[in-house]
A = this chain, B = another copy of it.
């Protein structure tokens, strides 16, 4: 059994005993039961937080309603009322069940990949990256329904409240971790695959040269380090790693590491060091850089 898996099992085993089959209704029920149990435990041990936990989690019959309530109260303003947003989120979640499957997948991803993620409810309540992505999914739904002004207004609230600026047209997969999240910018024609982990201050930006398809395409299982800037209609291949602070303007082949400003592929153009486990899951976003920095300093 590879160490990575061991490690993974080791972390999760204690807190999350038996997983139901992924993407089943059972999975959502199981996760919601976990969250309620966590919130109950926390409400009992911390009366000062109990009001918040009851309002946001414990008074709701489902994960969808809890999240709709929480997002509505986070994103509302004096000119966009919480009741209006609540309606919008509730309706989106009930008409598009895949949104909730994605919520479930993202919660599991955060819990498995982020050592600081102490519980599912912690992620649900406190992770601005998680909340920004879920709100984005609704703004994306609105965009595809040709309700663009509303989609853009929602994007604006997400950008104000979470400092995460994702264009409603951007397409984002499942099992996404936006860790810390402050300052993330994702452009209109960007695409992010499944199982991707993105740290804060990451930009998937345009090049300004074109009106059309002009933003990066991020493959499955990619890990993008803090402060990385990826610009233009380029492809980051599946399982690639982008080092913290890198400026990437060229395609990165699958399972390859890019580092530096401007980014270079570690090991040279021809023989990039391939890595076998998914970097987005191991979250190992420095080992390769360290090699590289050892190499050049």
A residues bordering B, Cβ < 8 Å? Answer: 7, 11, 42-43, 45-56, 58-59, 65, 69-70, 72-74, 76-84, 86-88, 113, 115-116, 118, 122, 125-128, 147-150, 152-153, 155-156, 159-163, 165, 167, 180, 182-183, 185, 187-188, 199-201, 203, 205-211, 214, 223, 225-227, 229, 231-232, 243-247, 249-250, 259-265, 269, 282-287, 289-290, 292-293, 296-297
Contacts and interface: CB of A to CB of B under 8 A. Distances in A.
Given A208-B284, A262-B293, A180 B200 contact: no
Contacts of A118: 148, 152
Top 4 closest A-B pairs, CB basis?
Answer: A208-B283, A262-B293, A126-B156, A51-B55
Contacts of A65: 87
B150 A49 contact: yes
B208 A282 contact: yes
Most buried by B among A47, A283, A284: A47
Contact of A81 (B73, B165, B185): B73
Q: Count identical subunits in the complex.
A: 6
A56 B149 CA distance: 14
Contacts of A48: 59, 84, 87-88, 150
Contact of A210 (B115, B209, B246): B115
6 contacts: A46-B147, A78-B81, A203-B244, A227-B227, A259-B262, A260-B262
A245 B260 CA distance: 10
A115 B188 contact: yes
A72 to B, nearest CB: 6
A49 B69 CA distance: 15
Given A182-B165, A232-B286, A244-B231, A47 B73 contact: no
A133 to B, nearest CB: 15
Given A46-B147, A82-B78, A226 B205 contact: yes
Contact of A227 (B87, B156, B229, B265): B229
Nearest to A262: B293
B59 A47 contact: yes
Nearest to A227: B229
A248 to B, nearest CB: 9
